[in-house]
Structure 1
Amino acid sequence: MSVSHCSDEGSSLMPKRAKLDTSLVLGFSDEDKRGTIQPHDDALVVTFRIWGYDVRRVMVDEGSAAKVMYPDLYRRLSLRPQDLTAYSSSLVSFEGRSIIPMGMIRLPVQTGSDVVEVDFIMVDAFSPYMAILGRPWLHTLMAVSSTLHQKMKYPSRGQVLEILGNQAMARQCLITAIQHRPETDTLATVENDL
């Protein structure tokens, strides 16, 4: 501890407080790829605790500004239509169609011991995922994600915590998405076959 001297009149010794720089660095190195299958193009798919339930097949998507929930999860959480609040903007589905959301619902998403309230947009559309968490959620958690390293990192109580992705689950979701045929394509194929 250093000591500084104030003015001569009525001088008193005052300790200078050491300024501690406790900022955490959130980054990735080759070490973070350990345990992943490389090379790959897999999405970051994780399991989170949503509304008190462990929910698998949640995609963390830096490219999305939306936080989306799909019907399978909505039903499994035993939520009712009256639990939704109005939401009027349209979204674009995986098939490229414009869809009108059914509404919005706020639910807690837990990562480790941290809980963030998330306003999910409920859409009645096909998805191989149960939910998608995008940039707003990442920013609230102050998290960074890396599909290459199949993990996300975020600061919590003075340390950097990690959430690992599940590549097998990500690949299963990709296969499901590829095998899914929208109704319009199925109808067009049937009509062409007649």
Structure 2
Amino acid sequence: MEVQPVLSFSDKDKVGTLQPHDDAPIVTLRIGGYDMKRMLVDQGSGAEIMYPNLFKRLKLRPENLTCYDSPLIGFNGKIVFPKGQVRLPVQAGLNVMEVNFIMVNAYSPYTAIVTRQWLHAMGAVSSTLHLKVKYSSRDQVEELVGS
């Protein structure tokens, strides 16, 4: 029988965070060989989004994008038409997951948004209260500490 580490949070995990708050975790993830800061972990969204800064930093070109023609609704409620989609490896610790990012040409304070699809693929649990993401890696619990 295989024993999996338990992914849980306690009051100890809140140390270092300003309470109370209602922020989502903002973490650093490795994408395309670069450590990318300001990655929003959004449990309420279903679409992984990439913004122009990340697209440029990875030296991607329009021909790297595949067609994605479904409009999205932005945070401000306006319709956004994606430029396309690209599949990239996203690394947290030793775990690497392929993610389909939808490229939108819009301003954002974030580099990209990873969503519940990425959390599920990682077998991760996110806590907005603790500003952390925890996941299993090689029989131990690893964590991404958000800001």
The alignment's TM-score, normalised by the length of structure 1, stands at 0.73
Amino acid at match of 2:143: E
Q: Which residue of 1 aligns with 2:6?
A: 25
Give the match's secondary structure for 2:91: strand
* Residue identity opposite 1:158 in structure 2: D
Q: Structure 2: 5+ residue runs without aligned partners?
A: none
Matched, 1:55 2:33: no
1:79 aligns with 2:60: yes
CA distance in 1, matches of 2:9, 2:118: 20
Which residue of structure 2 aligns with residue 143 of structure 1?
A: 124
CA RMSD of aligned residues (A): 1.0
Name the amino acid aligned to 2:32.
Answer: W
Q: 1:81-100, aligned counterparts within 5 Å? A: 81-100=62-81
Higher normalized helix content (fraction of residues): 1
Q: Which amino acid aligns with 1:119?
A: N
Whether contact under 8 Å (1:94, 1:127) holds in the other structure is: no
Post-superposition Cα deviations, 1:97-153, rounded to whole Å, max 9, x if no partner, equal 111110000111110011111110001112111100001100000000011101010
Which string of whole-angstrom CA distances, capped at 9 and with x for unpartnered residues, describes residues 39-88 of structure 1? Answer: 11222101111110011110001001111000111111111000100011
Q: Please, which runs of 5 or more residues in structure 1 have no aligned partner?
A: 1-19, 167-194
> Which of 45, 65, 75 pairs up with 2:26?
45
Distance in 2 (CA, whole Å) between partners of 1:160 and 1:63 is: 24
Q: Deviating runs (4+, > 2 A) in structure 1?
A: none
Higher strand share goes to which structure?
Answer: 2
